[in-house]
Structure 1
């Protein structure tokens, strides 16, 4: 069974190696793709259908029924903002549809505090070879497939 993972935001898809944080750029938490979001207030949406397993203003994990967990991190070091500028639309444990609004935020506001707004989208606890059809360049819209996990 394979799971298509959609972009949580509209923007420019790029490799994880472009992320200014070694935890992501060296794929320590798992393989994936990063998206540099467009400017202006945006809604980050669920990359897959599933259950919200982890929820913070700056990051969330959605776990599918098949056991695939996808981490979306809204910017780098944004935990230091302590939730400022982020609006949550779901709660931990909620069942969500792919494309459902999870968090609203403003990438330009994040950058005004000196942080990168790039969004790593990572498949947790899977080997890099488990990813297929990886999109690492070009414009993407929210919900457009970034990669597929599984066979």
Structure 2
């Protein structure tokens, strides 16, 4: 069982509150959303593993036991073409839980009339598979959001 960490600082929300219907319906996978706080900061890896996909606005880390964790920084931020983001690792690199992966500025994203909400999903899981006791709480990067796989 792995601890899944908060990639950014902010208030944890249910994924159903994401302002994107695909994420809100957990079609990508079950997880949580974080309403980020503060300005420029590093987004960290939620787990130890291999960065299998890396874009300025999103990344997927796969754990040694095969769980894929998606971190998506903001809604529709792909439209920014990488502006305002700085990659801190390379695709296919090994990362530790809590290691910075990309630098970004949620306030800059919000200033461009986009939602800075961060989405964290365990890929290919059914809706409701993830349960986090942190919903409604403020977290810092590296705080535990939930454990995966969930206890039966």
Which interval holds the TM-score relative to the shorter structure? Answer: over 0.9
Instruction: Show the counterpart of 1:109.
Output: 108
**Cα pair 2:30 2:123 within 8 Å, conserved:** yes
TM-score, normalised on structure 2? 0.94
Name the SS of the counterpart of 2:29 in structure 1.
coil
What RMSD in Å do the two structures reach over aligned CA positions?
1.2
Residue segments in structure 1 that go unaligned for 5+ positions in a row: none
2 CA distance for matches of 1:142 and 1:63? 19
TM-score, normalised on structure 1? 0.95
Deviation at 1:130, TM superposition (A): 4.0
5 Å matches for 1:1-151?
A: 2-128=1-127, 130-150=129-149, 151=151
Deviation at 1:134, TM superposition (A): 4.2
2 CA distance for matches of 1:79 and 1:133? 27
2 CA distance for matches of 1:7 and 1:87? 19
Deviation at 1:131, TM superposition (A): 2.8
1 CA distance for matches of 2:116 and 2:148? 25
**Cα pair 2:39 2:106 within 8 Å, conserved:** yes
CA offsets 1:119-142 (integer angstroms, 9 cap, x no match): 010000123454344421110011
Structure 2 CA distance for partners of 1:11 and 1:50, relative to 1, 3 Å = same
